[in-house]
Amino acid sequence: MLRTTLSARALKLSRVSNYTKCAPRRGYATPSTYTNIRTHYNTTLAGLSPSENEFREAVWEFAGRVVEPSRAKVEKEIEAGGRGFEEFMGIHRELAEMGLHGITVPTEANTESLGLSLPYLHHLLTMEALSYVSGGIALSYAAHSNLCINQISRWATPEQKARFLPGLMRGDLLGSLAMSEPGAGSDVLGMKTEAKYIPEKGGYVINGNKFWITNGPRADVVVVYAKDSPSQSKTKSTYTTFIIPRETPGFSTGQPLDKFGMKSSPTCELIFEDVFVPEELVLGGKGMVGKGAKVLMSGLDLERLVLCGGPLGIMQAAYDTTLEYVHTREQFGVRIGTFGSMQAKLANMYTAVNSARTFAYSVARAGMLGTYTYPPLQRRDCAAAILYVTDKASKCHWSVCRVWVGMGEYINEYPAARYLADARLYAVGAGTQEVRRWLVGREINADFE
């Protein structure tokens, strides 16, 4: 595996020396060699350092060369029920060869030094690049690298890290996270999945169901939140986080869900029927029993930040393809891009994608500062960032569909409808837009208490 230093932090990516280096034109990134459209990503407004932009270009090139050609194959594979997930896992292993699964994981000997020790900004940049070519594959990547790997990296014992992280970062294993339930979505702490401690067995018996679980149909390792039975507190419910391998007896999965969007990301229900989990698979060890709510909430903050890259990448792709479309399609003998109504839509899209990107990048960059602590700044700002980015993306994609009209809204052969369907996930994933507004407002009001 080729490992090349891209920054002072010794970023190690395979094959990065092959990325396309093109001279900028009018402050915009030049066309990708591996896609049919010119990307109008505004490098001037993005405000990235040379090493950060080099990282972004490397992942962008990889996404166009490796991920985009496989998107339709992965969608068909998942639609057919998986059939071994060969195409899906092929992309997963390619991402591992690039070193992208362990972006935020410290470079440590007990995890085979596969971590890159990079900031969350780089994780966001990776999500944006992957989402540009496939919202679904990017979403599965986030579930694996952020929701699963990052939580294990942040909270696990040295023994747990050594056992699980190398396989996850090499791409031998696929990770997932199980939090939501049929009756516990926005009210996630209303979960019914219970973990009962059995002293004579030295472990826990878990019963319950988890729903809407990304990567669930194929996941080898799942980070699972469960309510303690009995509670570790006399006054309130407590929760514990577990690492559960797929082969654990009593653990099973439902059929892959047929979703509105994100067709290249497998999703299903997880079922736990008297699943015995030994004490050594409590995430973080015995000292973390009853502290799952802390693990869960802090993970949601970082998940929201990294997931900002999803709607950003999809929005950039929608803007790029629409810009090409309005300057090739003609009506009444002229290009439709010359119509005032179309120019207004393009202006709104341009403003939306660049303002949203600036906000998201600034929050990610603030998280790199030593004075940026949690709580409360990170929580409100991560929630506000994905709230704003998702709002802008939703409005942008409706405009895109109105530009493409019949071909955009009703013909799946064209990408506009896919952009809209994929982007809608971010209005409900990692908390709904309503919950994000409530969270930001609550944190602001807390300053006056």
Q: Tell me the domains of the chain and their CATH numbers.
A: 4-174 (1.10.540.10), 178-294 (2.40.110.10), 308-446 (1.20.140.10)
Choosing from 303, 324, 409, 443, the catalytic residue is 303
> Is pLDDT above 90 for 27?
no
Which of 9-18, 304-313, 330-339 ranks highest by mean pLDDT?
A: 304-313
| pLDDT band, very low/low/confident/very high, at 449 (cuts 50, 70, 90) | confident
As a whole-number percent, the residues of the chain with pLDDT over 70 amount to: 89
Query: Distance between CA atoms of 240 and 161, rounded to whole angstroms?
Result: 18
CA distance 445 to 449: 7
Tokens coding 396? 């942008």
Q: Are 181 and 254 in contact (CB under 8 A)?
A: no
Q: What is the 3-state secondary structure (H, E, C) of 347-398?
A: HHHHHHHHHHHHHHHHHHHHCCCCCCCCCCHHHHHHHHHHHHHHHHHHHHHH
Quick one: residue 359, left, alpha or beta (phi over 0 = left, psi -120 to 50 = alpha)? alpha
Nearest to 422 by CA among 180, 216, 260, 185: 260
Is the pLDDT confidence value at 12 over 60?
A: no
- pLDDT over 90, % of the chain: 72
Residue 118 has pLDDT above 80, yes or no: yes
Q: How many residues are recorded in the chain?
A: 449
In this predicted structure, the answer to whether residue 59 has a pLDDT above a threshold of 70 is yes
Whether pLDDT at 19 is above 50: no
Confidence category of residue 99, pLDDT binned at 50, 70, 90: very high
Read off φ and ψ for residue 119, nearest 5 degrees.
-70, 170
* pTM to 2 decimal places: 0.91
- Candidates 318, 307, 317, 423; CA nearest to 60 is 317
Q: Would residue 303 show up in a list of annotated catalytic residues for this protein? A: yes
Mean pLDDT, the chain, integer? 88
Tell me the pLDDT tens digit for each residue of 368-421.
Answer: 764 445 554 578 999 999 999 999 999 998 888 888 887 766 777 788 889 999
